[in-house]
Amino acid sequence: MCGICGIVGHQPASPIAFEALRRLEYRGYDSAGIATLTAAGNIERRRAAGKLDNLEYVLKEHPLPGTTGIGHTRWATHGAPTENNAHPHEAGRVAIVHNGIIENFATLKKELEAKGRVFVTETDSETVAHLVDEYLGQGLAPREAAFAAIKRLEGAYAIAMIFKDHEGLLIGARHGAPLAVGYGNGEMFLGSDSIALAPMARKMTYLEDGDWCELTPGHVTIFDMTGAEVSRPVQDLTFMAGQVGKDGYRHYMEKELHEHPVAIGQTLKRITDPASKRIALPEMPFDPAQVPRITITACGSAYYAGMVGRYWLESLARIPVEIDVASEMRYREPPQPDKGVALLISQSGETADTLGVLRSLKKAGQSIVSVLNVEHSTMGRESDLVLGMDAGPEISVASTKAFTAQLSVLAALAIDFARARGTMDQAREERLTASLLDLPSRAAEVFTRTKDIQAMAAVVAQARDVLYLGRGICTPIAFEGALKLKEISYIHAEAYAAGELKHGPISLIDQTVPVVAIAPSTILFDKTLSNLQEAKARGGRILAFTDAEGAKRLEGVAEQVVIMPDVDAFVAPILYAIPVQMLAYEVALLKGTDVDQPRNLAKSVTVE
């Protein structure tokens, strides 16, 4: 992960780099640093361990001069999150910032040390600086030295470099990690994503894997991995500068939770025909009626969305679905059917594990469909079809609105497949579509339950361990709840299909372990109720998300209930995801944790 940026222009580079790092901080916040070139052509660096605020303090005390610079915000992979390990790394005549992992760094380091080079950090990235400097020392010009070094790197990287005595020169390279070029007025920029570039550039170009580029004020030359000059499309920046503020909310997560109704509504708007009120997805590059199997792959919350998607696709469209987390799927090598479809789900479109599966399933001849929030991401560019969500930028590390937007797309996809495969009559299709289109209003209603969720949070916040239970299509929502609680409140939480409780985890239950049930009064409610009674009989404190009917039946069983709006069982997982995420948020507030930037995490996981 990590976020990188670069600037060549005519304005002071350091404040611009700092603003870009603020917008990239969601990619990692273990340390941060900026390097610029002084008027005398020397490289100067400022670095600080911890969050950007620490770097801001350092920069106030010791501002950086110069109009050429690079910046980095780190999610530590190799080496502790100390100031010494913070980027930019400098070696002789070059300073670099790097996002990714240099897999052959140990070999390169040994070779460079044998030549007398002294390494001063524990990072893999420092190798890149030494390697480039080694080639500069052999008399190569910066561009040639950079290319010679890049060719020797294995692994994943996005890199930006500046060179002593070369004001107005910036070199970037990408392989397996995203990097974009931004076009300003007589200035050029590099950034890990469009969000970083939004305030300073109106147009941008995504580099492709293996690309590297030379930037001077007002000009970019892009090369491919053979060194041949190439041209890449220039696009308008889709994320506007102002779109990523907190708008008066305490945290991005709070803001993004409140954006659920809009995210669902906007997403559905894109995939519904307003006249007929029927689902209208873009044309598929295959015949859905002929697809023998769908393979769903994703990570984290996106994987849980995929688990719900499997229920819908299997039950409505009667299509076999294989699903796994990307880090496992990638190395399982499951046999792929002829005419099969791979469905990748990702908010960022940059998650390394998911991207790896995309590429291997593409090689295995599968049609690639991806459900993405950032459509111009690497996954978007490498997919046969992108089913875009319209959740808007999601900054908080804990995913919220992107999850319900993903579910909305998957629900629509299941309806679309069911129609094409003739497994659903029109009346049912209309009923299910209507329930989907009604969701934004129902989602808005959930916020009137905030006080009840806060009361539940007061119980959960006291616990050391929490169990989340769901059944059927709501089981993945239990997983989502447990993940969110762990992520932002650091309370240990486990999720189970409620029916599994008696096969082991019931032994965990006593008065200190709250049991959070996701229990709309749908077809499996009676079974869930029995499971909850079993838990209560062992002293468990039952806290339930249910509807009015469920609340009646949970009397005497549940200590607290949050009564949700009545909805069709089909859309219950989408609606119930919202209070479950709100619960985690309220618990985190009580625990006083860093909600938007929880420890050890980063939003975009671009390393394996």
Give the footprint of ligand M6R on this chain (CB under 6 A). Answer: 299-302, 346-348, 351, 354, 397-399, 483, 487, 604-605
422 is written with which tokens? 């003739």
Query: Residue 397 or 561: which CB sits closer to ligand M6R?
Result: 397
Instruction: Compute the distance between CA of residue 192 and CA of residue 169 in angstroms, rounded to an integer.
Output: 18
Query: Residue 348 or 433: which CB sits closer to ligand M6R?
Result: 348
Query: Residue 301 or 367: which CB sits closer to ligand M6R?
Result: 301
Q: 472, 595 in Cβ contact below 8 A?
A: no
Instruction: Compute the distance between CA of residue 366 and CA of residue 144 in angstroms, rounded to an integer.
Output: 39
Nearest Cα to Cα of residue 155 among 210, 197, 102: 102
Give residue number: closest CB to ligand M6R.
Answer: 300
Q: How far is the CB of 395 from ligand M6R (least distance, A)?
A: 12
Query: Residue 249 or 286: which CB sits closer to ligand M6R?
Result: 249
Q: Which of 109, 401, 536, 603 is catalytic?
A: 603
Q: 160, 207 in Cβ contact below 8 A?
A: no
Annotated active-site residue 603? The verdict is yes
Nearest Cα to Cα of residue 31 among 93, 91, 80, 73: 73
Nearest Cα to Cα of residue 71 among 11, 166, 163, 159: 159
Give CA separation, 393 vs 27, 155, 195, 256, in Å.
13, 28, 8, 9
Q: How far is the CB of 448 from ligand M6R (least distance, A)?
A: 24
Where do runs of H (alpha helix) occur along 138-212?
A: 142-150, 194-197
Q: What is the 3-state secondary structure (H, E, C) of 386-407?
A: EEECCCCCCCCCCCCHHHHHHH
Give CA separation, 183 vs 37, 186, 223, in Å.
21, 8, 17
Annotated active-site residue 255? The verdict is no
Query: Residue 127 or 348: which CB sits closer to ligand M6R?
Result: 348
Q: Which of 2, 5, 213, 299 is catalytic?
A: 2
Q: What is the DSSP string of 268-323?
A: HHHTEETTTTEE-PPPPSS-GGG---EEEEE-HHHHHHHHHHHHHHHHHH---EEE
Active-site positions? 2, 603
